Amino acid sequence: MATPPKATGRGTGSKPRNRDITAAVGKLGFARNLTGVDFEFQPSIGILARNIDRLGTDIRSFREPLTRAVKEVMIPSFRKNFDAGGRPEPWAPLAPYTVQVRKSTGPILVRSGRLRKVATSFNIWEISQNGAVITSLGSKAWYGTLMQAGTPGFGVHIDQAKKELGHDARPRQITQRAFEIMDEKGGDKTAMAAIPARPFIMFQDEDEDAVTEIFWDWLQHRIDLHWGAGE
C-alpha cells in the first residue's frame, strides 16, 4: 500500500506567488443587502468562497477561514453598529410617540439588549464548506427583521385603496377598503405605523478588507504546507 504524502510535502509545478493568492481571494463573494420577508432574511447576508481558486492545493473546505471571518470580523462589526446607533449612516431617530413612552431619545434597538445579543451571537450563522450565511434571527428576536428592513405601514394600504376606488371615494370607504386589503395580505391591524429601516446586520467596507486578509493568510499557510515554505 502506498504511503500517503505528508502535509508538508512539496507540490508539483510552480509555487503560487503573492499576486496569484490576491487574484484567488478576489473571487470572494459578499452578499451585502438584507430585506425582511416573512421574518427571515431574504436574500441572506453571507460570505461565499465557492469560486476561490484552490491554487493547485488540495483544499476541499473553507470552513476554517469562514469561521474566523465571522468570529473575528463580522460579529465585532455588528456590535459596533449597535454601539454607534447605525453605520456608516446613523439610524433614523425614534418617533415622537416612542420617545414619549420611553421618556428618552435613545439608545435605539438596545432597550432590552435581546436583539443585540442575538444579532451578535455565533449560533445564528450557518457555516458550510463554501459559505457563511445568516438566514434568520430565530423566534426570540423575530422582530429584528422588521427593524433591519423597515415596514411601510398602513399608508401603503391606503394608497392602494385610493387607486382602486378612484378620486370620488369617501375617506371612510378608503379606510374600510384599506383594512380589507391588509386582511387579504395577512396584515396586523395593530401595525399601523411605518417603521424606518435600521440595518444592524450589514457589511462595512473595512469588513471586506479584513475578511479578505484572513483568507489571504490562510491560503498562504496552506500553500506553504503544500509546496514548502521559503521557496
> Would you list the domain boundaries of the chain?
18-150+197-223, 152-194
What are the residues whose beta carbons fall under 8 Å from the beta carbon of 216, sequence distance 6 or more?
Answer: 21, 22, 25
- H helices of the chain, where? 18-25, 63-69, 75-84, 96-102, 114-119, 144-149, 155-165, 171-184, 205-227
179 in Cβ contact with 189 (< 8 Å): yes
The predicted structure's pLDDT at residue 229: 60
**Confidence at 154, pLDDT banded by 50, 70, 90:** low
Amino acid (one-letter) located at 205: D
d(CA 157, CA 51): 43
Which residues on adjacent β-strands are paired with residue 41? 36
How far is it, in rounded angstroms, from Cα 20 to Cα 22? 5
pTM equals 0.71
Residues 178-192: what's their mean pLDDT?
A: 65
Q: Are 84 and 106 in contact (CB under 8 A)?
A: no
Across the chain, mean pLDDT equals: 77
What pLDDT score does 207 carry? 92
What is the rounded CA–CA span in Å between residue 110 and residue 102?
Answer: 12
Which tens digits make up the pLDDT trace of 30-65? 765 544 333 233 335 678 776 676 666 667 888 999
In this prediction, residue 64 carries a pLDDT of 93
- How many helices (H) and strands (E) the chain has is answered by 9, 6
Compute the distance between CA of residue 126 and CA of residue 145 in angstroms, rounded to an integer: 17
pLDDT of residue 188: 55
Residue 13: per-residue pLDDT: 59
Other Cβ atoms within 10 Å of 183 Cβ, number: 12
